[in-house]
Structure formats: structure tokens, C-alpha cells
Amino acid sequence: MDTTEIRRLVALEDAHWWYRERRAILRRELRGLGRPGRALDVGAAGGGNTRVLVEAGWDATATDYCESAVEIARERGLRSVRADARALPFESSSMDLVTAFDVLEHIHEDHLVTEEIARVLAPGGHTLIAVPCDMALWSAHDDAVGHVRRYDRDTLTDVVEKAGLTVERLWSWNVLLRPLVARHRRRSTGSDLQKTPALVNAGLSLVVRAERHLPVRSLKGVTLFLRARPAR
């Protein structure tokens, strides 16, 4: 993301249905990882997910390639470091958790990112990754926010496993709203990152929250989530 997109995200993410539910997913995943330790949030932008890690007791560091993102995260009271996800400035086996939400799709050499994630993870550690799903949903939005690809289950699994990670879980999210998203994206002319009217925001929140209780994770959605651990 460029600086404008990051500032737009920071202004919207606390209330926006998409980001609120993704933070809820992160909180649920953290509860299943045991005792908090050292965490790294790669491509953290303004640190919305880093705050979730800190609130859950993790000793978390945000990283981003964009200096403005690093400054914004620091303004929010977070430890933040400018870093290239393809060459993380952290020691090998030093992290108990690495999160990378909406990162891989921005980088041509995505295999270098997953290799770095595998390198910095300690034995017994975990990574949580989220990426946009399905090239059939490619639109002007992807161009506007700097995506170079969207993933399917096979391509995401491949780049993770070749890095030396073992996939524990892989699931779809935003399944129920996929038809609406596909229709909207066909008409889009730029980024979808904008304020949503309050009633619409509330309605969309109800729909995505319903997925918590429905057997839809194996179906096609808009996002893929993955949890993995070091193979060693």
C-alpha cells in the first residue's frame, strides 16, 4: 500500500466490517496457540492487527516496508520497524508467532517472504497468513492496491510448504458475500477501501459474523486463511 491507502485504512479499520471481523478471527486463532511469546506482524501497515497481538499478551513488533506506516504504528504506541519482508532484520528461530495478513499478494518474490517467515520462527512456533483468493475476482481494486496475484488453495499451500512450513489449517473466509463482492468488483474503478454507510456496514457485519457458525470454510470465498508451523 502507498501512504494514502495506509492512512485511509487507519481511519476506517476500527469500525469497518471487513477489518473488524478479521481482527475477531485473529483473536480466536490466538486463543488456540497457547501461552503468548514473541510475535512479528509482517506488513502491518498502521498496526491494527499488531494491537490485537499486544492486547492478547504477545510481545509484538510491527514491520512494514513503508516508512509512513512505521511512523503511524509508532504514533499508536506500537513497536514498529521498517523492514523488507523478503529480508527480515530478526534472528533465526527468534519468534513464536509471525502474522502476515494481506502481504504475499503484493510481492513478486512471495517465496522469499515465506522462507523468511520459516527462518525466524522458533521450533513450535506458528504463522498465520491471509491472502486474497481466486484470480477470477481480479479487478481494478487489485491494481489500485498493488496486488500482483490472488491465490487459490494449491498456490498458497505450495509457496508455504516449499519454505519448510507444515500447513495445519487452510480455510476460506467471506464466503457468503462472495457473489456481492464479485458483482461489485466487476464494476469497480479503483480501491474498495472507503467508508461504508452505517446501516450497510452493520448489515455486512452480520453476514460475515454468521460464517462463524456455518460450515462454509471449504467453499470459495474472497480470502484464504492459513495456519502453519515449522516442519523441523
Which tens digit of pLDDT belongs to each residue from 86-117? Answer: 999 999 999 999 999 999 999 999 999 999 99
* Cβ neighbour number for residue 104 with a 10 Å cutoff: 29
Q: Alpha-carbon distance 170 to 129, whole Å?
A: 9
Q: Specify whether domain 3-230 bears CATH 3.40.50.150.
A: yes
Instruction: Choose among 153, 149, 67: nearest CA to 113.
Output: 149
Hey, CA dihedral for 227, 17, 62, 67, is it positive or negative?
positive
212 vs 148: CA distance, rounded Å: 30
Interacting residues of 27 by C-beta distance below 8 A, sequence separation 6+: 52, 56
What is the rounded CA–CA span in Å between residue 16 and residue 37? 29
Is 62:81 a contact under the CB 8 Å cutoff? yes
More confident residue, 12 or 67: 67
Q: What is the pLDDT of residue 1?
A: 60
Give the H/E segment covering residue 225: strand 223-230
The predicted-structure confidence for 159-172, as pLDDT tens digits, reads as follows: 999 999 999 999 99
pLDDT per residue over 123-158, tens digit each?
999 999 999 999 999 999 899 889 999 999 999 999
Rounded to 5 degrees, φ, ψ at 102 are 60, 55
pLDDT digits (tens, 9 = 90+) for 185-214: 888 777 776 778 999 999 999 999 999 999
**Widest CA span of the chain, in angstroms?**
48
Question: What pLDDT digit, counting tens, does each position of 42-84 carry?
Answer: 999 989 999 999 999 999 999 999 999 999 999 999 999 999 9
Closest to 95 measured CA to CA, from 62, 138, 131: 62
Q: Where are the domains of the chain?
A: 3-230
Q: How far apart are CA 125 and CA 137, in angstroms?
A: 33
End-to-end CA separation in angstroms for the chain = 33
